[in-house]
Structure 1
Amino acid sequence: MSGFFQRLQRLEPRRQQAFMAALCERLLPNYAFYAEATGHGDPKALRVVLDLVWERLAVKDARIDFDRQAEKLAELEPPAEDDSFGARRALEAVVAISSLLDTLRGDSPEAVLEVSRTSRGGVRAFIELTEGEEDGERLAAIVREHPLMEDENGFQDAVLEAVEGELGRDALKALRRLGRNEGVSNLGLSMD
């Protein structure tokens, strides 16, 4: 894994942003599920913020006030008192997009690692919740070998390979499609 993180850190900022944007795409359905189940949050508003990031990646001179977008994002967080599993996954989506905005607003060298770990962490939490294994070593093995974790690792590898290549308009569109993953989140959930 350390080789993976070194490759991530060596990427120029725009490539890191494209990597994070693709991961954020896959986190959005988790937020939408939470919003639908609880009535808290606004998936469309979250979508708009992420769409603006993609626009900026495609059009370098796009004039977008990312400070204002960060303020809007803060309003989309689940209520602080909600400590449910769904709220934590929804918060991960907001925090990941917020980390991405930090890189667009200035210097945030750790953001790309945070977003990668956040996405993996959500998958780990879901597996731990669904497997209910008490033994720590056994649980670690289950998490490592679980199809969802294998899928997450494969997905992040594919995104990293994509952003290491040519990143023109078509490549960005393909990356975005990859991130959208046909509407299936990193937890294997789909709104369809």
Structure 2
Amino acid sequence: MALKPLGFYQRLQQLTLPAQQAFMAALCERQLPNYALYAQTTGCGDTHALKAVLDLVWEQLSVRGASIDFARQAEKLVECEPPADDDSFGARRALDVVVSLFSLLDTLRGEAPEAVLDVSRTSRAGVRAFIELTEGEEDAQRLALLIRDHPLTDDENGFQDAVLDAVSQPLNKALLKDVRRLGKNDGVSNLGLSLE
């Protein structure tokens, strides 16, 4: 009897912790332009601090025995959050990046078994919200089809599949570099936005 292939989320959960962390870091990397655009247009937030925390995560993954105080990094992240009273679309997508990075830091500081699923779902939810915002479809059924068949949904699914395939290989410095490059996605975010 042939075994049914594992679903995406099952495969994610079966990864080693460092592979899950690399997956999350790549997704954070890809969401960064959303944060940077928000910071640039509103003057709120600190893209440099956010990038610095993410750089340390990559360092932790690629340098054996790197000793980084991730509790301190989590404190720095709090300062990067958009103002609580800003409920704009840009603020919510900027917060997605911060929350995803928090989830990733949680795994570096101890137990957070659901973190990898949360980060994956947060990125997908941001894409859905962006399509809803830009396409403005009232009919729920039509909207669901629109989201399912949208190029950004395809792109997001393809991206997450590619990262999952990459981190399913034995991790080494060269592979981590490739995964990070994949995450940077030539400066284009999961919403198809860039600072250019």
TM over 0.5: yes
Deviation sequence 1:51-75 (CA, Å, 0-9, x none): 0000000013001000000000011
SS class of match (2:121): helix
Q: Does 1:168 align with 2:165?
A: no
Q: Does 1:143 align with 2:147?
A: yes
CA RMSD of aligned residues (A): 0.7
Segments of 5+ residues of structure 2 without an aligned counterpart are 1-5
SS class of match (1:16): helix
Partner of 2:47: 43
Q: Does 1:87 align with 2:83?
A: no
Partner of 1:121: 125
SS class of match (2:7): helix
**How many aligned residue pairs are there?**
191
Partner of 1:16: 20
The TM-score with structure 1 as length reference comes to 0.98
Segments of 5+ residues of structure 1 without an aligned counterpart are none
Q: Does 1:31 align with 2:35?
A: yes
AA at the equivalent of 1:37: T
Partner of 2:194: 190
AA at the equivalent of 1:162: A
AA at the equivalent of 2:17: P
Q: What is the CA distance between 1:167 and its match in structure 2? A: 1.2
Determine the C-alpha separation between the residues in 1 that align with 2:150 and 2:122: 17
SS class of match (1:173): helix
Q: Does 1:181 align with 2:161?
A: no
SS class of match (1:37): helix
Give me the identity figure in percent: 71
Partner of 2:3: none
Determine the C-alpha separation between the residues in 1 that align with 2:69 and 2:38: 27
SS class of match (1:107): coil
Partner of 1:152: 156
User: Deviation above 2 Å: which 4+ runs of structure 1?
Assistant: none
Q: Does 1:110 align with 2:114?
A: yes
Q: What is the CA distance between 1:166 and its match in structure 2? A: 2.4
